[in-house]
Structure 1
Amino acid sequence: MKMLLVGLLALIALPASAADPLPRAEPRSLGLSPERLARIGATLETEVREGRMPGAVVAIARRGKLAYYEAFGFQDGGRTRPMTREAIFPIASMTKVLTGATLMSVLEEGRLSLNDPVGRFFPALGEMRVAVDGNPETTVPAARPIRLIDLARHTSGIVYGNRGTTAAHQLWQRSLGGYARMSGPAFIAAMAKLPLLHQPGTTWEYGLSIDVLGLVIEERTDKTLGEAMADRILRPLGMQDTGFVLPEDQRGRYATPLPTDPLTGRPQEVRVGLAAPGFEGGGGQAVSTAADYMRFAQMLLNGGTLDGRRVLSRKGVEEMTRDHLYPEVANNVPTTEPHLTNFGFGVTVAVRREGGSDVLGSPGMFTWNGAYGTAMWVDPKEELAVVYMASTPGLIRQHYRRVINALVYAAIED
């Protein structure tokens, strides 16, 4: 059984206090108001004090320099251990963006194209059928193959079974609800028997597409996704605390949620990353830190480089972070992220379009978040990268995404 936490030996040798992920600078020298940045801490400390969240870590960089990097509250849901900046979080769907960057690295070697049909790599997925009006009992052949770009931008027709009420969703949930315990081949074989919800290329529908992309990466590189990601993205960026399984001696750094959801009162628990999955799912199984993910976000903001080292080409990053939802594609992004109105979608990231939105930002900013409470975005126009780490898996996470967005942009003073 292959287990990954990148740079394990180096990680163990690190002192308890890790270095800043980027060079620091005074906020005002970067066009940010220190007084307004202080609102972030005041707001989060209130949330912790009033019992709505255990704690959080926030990192903000502008113009390539770290302006803000602070921890608040508690690392554990029992509120016994102070949060530290070195806390490790299950990042859920922020794993997708790491998978997207790894895919672009493989593409840049000529091993695949975004237009490739997925059947090239997994013949079982080459001739899928589509449920008519969400009814899996009535299906028609897919009008065209699923292509890698469909997987990358969620227009494959593949779904998450627990994110809809149709009979097709229910069938997907029964068949693949426990997919993290499956092997990769078993996952593909089970998926091949299920009907797609939409014709490929017609509708944005959130689902297991990026987990399939991760297995495509494995097929192209002859490595596990974690190994390929480490070789191409994590090690070059020094992301030593990012991977798919947390070693036993690092479990004390794992951030956990409150024992009950503050909105519903229902019990909640997150254990992703504490045991080896059946396969390393590119859609949501990684763990990371604010520092590691900030280095990744800054690399994307820099057009593929960090600390003088090129990880991706500039054109590769441009293609990854441009809007690939053309007018003929039904855009349902706000059904998953309600605050991302007027956002399209690129290769594993939502991309803001011209015009207004429910959140502050600029056209061309790109973002994606994690179901357990984490968030990230990059705004090239403002030369801004933001990473927010918290363990708040309930719907309250959507509230915090809006709040952090407002507080960060309110601090821009130039």
Structure 2
Amino acid sequence: MPPFDAPSVAQHDGAVDWAAVRADFPLLLREVHGKPLIYLDNANTGQKPASVIEAVDGYYRRQNANVSRAVHQLGTEATEAYEGTRGKLARFLNVRADELVLCSGTTFAINLVAYSWALPRLGPGDTILVSRMEHHANIVPWRLVADRTGATVRVAEILDDGTLDLDALRRAMTPDVKLLALTHVSNVLGTVNPVREICREARRRGVVTVIDGSQAVPHMRVDIAALGCDFYAFTGHKMCGPTGTGALWARREHLEAMPPFLGGGEMIREVSFERIVYNDPPHRFEAGTPNIAGFVGLGAAVDYLERLGPEQVERREGELLAHLTESLSQVDGLRILGNAPRKAAVVSFLLEGAHAHDLATLLDLEGVAIRSGQHCAHPLLQFYGVAATCRVSPAFYNTHDEIDTFVAALLKVRRLLG
């Protein structure tokens, strides 16, 4: 399958032309309720550059066929494109391609670890350690495993500023702890956890680590090999790729020791009614026809982010975060949850006298898209004693002017609410 070229990123003396980058995203040109769209819900899902949209469209128009089954030309091209994305992701994250299981996203990836690694190994007396700031996708699977095995789920608490209580975390890693589930970046607080140091300590104690990288991979350079974790999960649709895509990285020794999670085609070598020989990892865990077009699009998204440069993305979003935080700090009656020393571009807040859903609904009428609710993080909001928050999450294609417009709209809405 011929590659789709990512657009050239205009740079002058190493500086990115962010206006030219923004023009790569068609959806940002639309209006909502008669006003220019200001999309600030990127922690929920990211927008897609034209190169990703064209890659998906081009696959269906020119190469549509199933993978790993046919020897005809279309089948060969489809397989090459699908496996090509595995290779691109491996290079992007500094891991081996045969350690990457392609799947529908972080939720599937963590469930794969839960059912294929944890369920056969844990029992009464074992403990799963989970941090307070986890997304439900990194809580619910472990609760299900604990209920079925008799293991215990223990909570690693946080401090008021939204950082992990590292001293308490170390004390909590007692000999009964077999697994630590931890987010790289909080989807509510934006806290960037010191994953490398935590994984080093866990490994020294024989604790297996599962890292949720959904909010990290889109926004910074992630070198999984340097982190030293056992499992790392991430989602494609947050990193400019299509929905229904993502991957689980796992140490090769874990993958080889894990039984299949789902049964069907592609994950087998030989089948009879008496005996089944399973395929080698990672294909052992990729039963059935995958989201081929989606992974073609994800490959284009990786191309795009690599051309842009994760370091440039992190720098740009850091500038937008600083502007956003400073602007919101000037709004009377507004409370920001979490002010960790190192944060990604995620800000959750409450406004005195206004419900989060009311704020988000009225802001939508001003053309501003933000998230409201509990953000799939009930235990975290319970820690802060709040029922819901608004969440603003800019991406590299947003602008400083958009942040100013959002804050002006927020002040207008507050006046309307009295």
TM (norm. structure 1) is 0.29
**Which structure has the highest helix share of the two?**
2
TM-score under structure 2 length normalisation: 0.28
